[in-house]
Amino acid sequence: MNFLCALILIGVDFNEVSAFVILEKLLGEYGNLAALYDGGLSKLFSLSDHVYSWLLEEEPELEELVSSHGVPLTTLFAGPLMAVFSNIFESPETPLFILDRLVLQKEQALISIIKHVFKSMKTELLKYRKLPTSLTSANLRNRQSGCVISDSGQLQTYLVRLVYLDAHERNIFFPDMP
């Protein structure tokens, strides 16, 4: 929650009263995000479940990728969602833009960003498909640079932070921006 509080303070030029009001609105009845930070992390689980359901319905190849590697979505989304992506980007501009969306669109802002990044980065993500067991190391060496990578750790590392940075560099981070 420190990341969220810091972002809000930066966004209101360190006006503590305004920051408190915005934080109270986001965590209270308006934004209803307090459950994202409570001991049970119930909002984090529900947001993860929502994205997983979307993957099952809309992006089965990505769902199969994540499932075959055993990557738990909740742990992947904990950092970006709870820190409003401020733990990913070095400068505060992008997280402040996300905070603006969060104030206006509530939790839907976070969900739409994650869905858009996954959908836009699908080709890159599918490079991490598990190799068939019949593929030998000699065949693997003969593949081109766009080869399939079988290491689940590499996929998890990529999904935690780098997929968002890559999407941002390619100017596809936000769903409704050119």
Q: Is the pTM value of this prediction over 0.85?
A: no
Distance CA 119, CA 125 (A): 9
174 in a domain, yes or no? Answer: no
29 in a domain, yes or no? Answer: yes
Give the single-character DSSP code of 173. S
Q: Kindly tell me the burial class for residue 6, based on how many C-beta atoms sit within 10 Å of its own C-beta (0-12, 13-18, 19 or more).
A: middle
As a whole number, the mean pLDDT across the chain is 84
42 in a domain, yes or no? Answer: yes
20 in a domain, yes or no? Answer: yes
User: Hey, what are 67's tokens?
Assistant: 């499932």
- Into how many domains does the chain fold? 1
Residue 7 has pLDDT above 70, yes or no: yes
Query: Which pLDDT score, from 0 to 100, does residue 10 have?
Result: 94
Give the DSSP H or E segment for 110. helix 107-120
Predicted confidence (pLDDT) per residue in 50-87, tens digit: 999 999 999 999 999 988 888 888 888 888 888 899 98
How many CB atoms sit inside 10 A of residue 5's CB? 13
141 in a domain, yes or no? Answer: yes
Distance CA 61, CA 59 (A): 6
Query: Which pLDDT score, from 0 to 100, does residue 138 have?
Result: 42
Name the amino acid, one letter, at 47.
L
178 in a domain, yes or no? Answer: no
Question: Which tops the pLDDT comparison, 165 or 138?
Answer: 165
Q: How many residues are given for the chain? A: 178
- SS3 label, residue 34: helix
110 in a domain, yes or no? Answer: yes
Provide Rg for the chain, Cα atoms: 18
Residue 148 has pLDDT above 70, yes or no: no
What domain range is 24 assigned to? 2-169
Q: Which of 57-66, 79-88, 126-135, 166-175 has the highest mean pLDDT?
A: 57-66
154 in a domain, yes or no? Answer: yes
Distance CA 10, CA 14 (A): 6
Please say whether the beta carbons of 8 and 23 come within 8 A. yes
